[in-house]
Homo-oligomer: A and B are copies of this chain.
Amino acid sequence: MKLSRINRGGVDGPVPRLVVVKPDQGRVVDLVSAEKLRLMRKGATSAGALLRALGLFPGSMAQAISTGSAFLESAAETVAATGDDASIEFSNVEWIAAVDPPMLRDCFAFVAHLEAYYRGVGQEISPVHYRQPGYYKGTNARCFGHEARIPWPHYSDFVDYECEIGFVVGRECHNVDPDEAGKAIFGLTIFNDYSARDCQTDELTMSMGPTKCKDFANGIGPWVTTIDEFDDLSALEMTVRINDKECGRGISSGMQWLPEELLAYISQGGVVQPGDVFGSGTVGNGCGLESGVRVKPGDVIALEISGIGVLRQVLGQKEERGWRPIPRERNVI
């Protein structure tokens, strides 16, 4: 099944709705509308049907996933019953981030990108990258869906894209091993880890992880393909196109840590929540830093992953206004 989120107009402004996506038909099914219709055909009043449908299919993907396997069972039943009568053409859809993750994390699992990145910035790779998976924690406050305009932060002249697989977590995990973790992956989406390269090197010397270089935007979409639709997670083809021109291509077999190892590792000591998203890290040649492409405002970035689809977004104009800190004198207390 393919699932996403869209905005729909309402009396109180736009409301997020969960949808089942039918890419071959170019349509989505609004799960609340379809379920409401199904219940009314079984004798519910309009108000009663809506109340129950909203309880089954909240606008938050994370909340829906937190209801366990009942979520997909209900969605399948609803779509089979009344999906065709509650569907919307892609051309009339306003996509939002397919998932609203309680926590967003991003790994560094592709060896080719790891080595190319460090070669690019002229630094030695820490041997720790070969002993344990690395990941940073991103922001859940700036997640953008399919066809969105991506804000370009005022402090950067060098925004880059990164083509990654986004793994969506299906259940709460704590101290699990890879076997258990493998069963806890709900599905896969496409993750564009937008990066402001001109902030990155400096701020990473602070040993606190990426901040300004990452926190302005994450692409998550166009939808989530549930894990049952994949035969082989190491055979996913990943392609980047900028303004319709191919600029990078890779395959998921380049990950030195398997998805279930990444999730198991993240769960050690901590807690991973239903709906959390973790990125694979950029596929080799999956960013401008490696491919030599320098994107600019107005460019259309399309990331394709086989078995999922295409996440297409456009880069906005640079923000005009912002604030920058005044440097401190060293050793002033």
Contacts and interface: CB of A to CB of B under 8 A. Distances in A.
B134 A137 contact: no
Interface of A is mostly: loop
Interface in A212-259: 212, 215-216, 254, 256-257
Interface bin, chain A: 35 or more
Contacts of A151: 269
B211 A128 contact: no
A176 B323 contact: yes
A130 B327 contact: yes
B209 A209 contact: yes
A264 interface: yes
Contact of A177 (B139, B273, B323): B323
Contacts of A204: 207
B137 A138 contact: yes
A136 interface: yes
Contacts of A329: 130
Q: List the number of copies, as a whole number.
A: 2
A127 B269 CA distance: 32
B129 A265 contact: no
A208 interface: yes
A268 B212 contact: yes
Interface in A156-208: 156, 175-178, 196, 202-208
Interface string A292-333: 000000000000000000000000000101111101111111
A42 interface: no
A271 interface: yes
A131 B270 contact: no
A57 interface: no
A321 B127 contact: no
A214 B12 CA distance: 40
Interface of A: 102-103, 108, 111-112, 115, 126-142, 151, 153-156, 175-178, 196, 202-212, 215-216, 254, 256-257, 261, 264-266, 268-273, 319, 321-325, 327-333
17 contacts: A103-B141, A108-B206, A126-B206, A128-B206, A130-B330, A134-B206, A139-B271, A153-B268, A154-B268, A156-B269, A175-B319, A175-B321, A204-B207, A207-B209, A211-B266, A257-B328, A268-B322
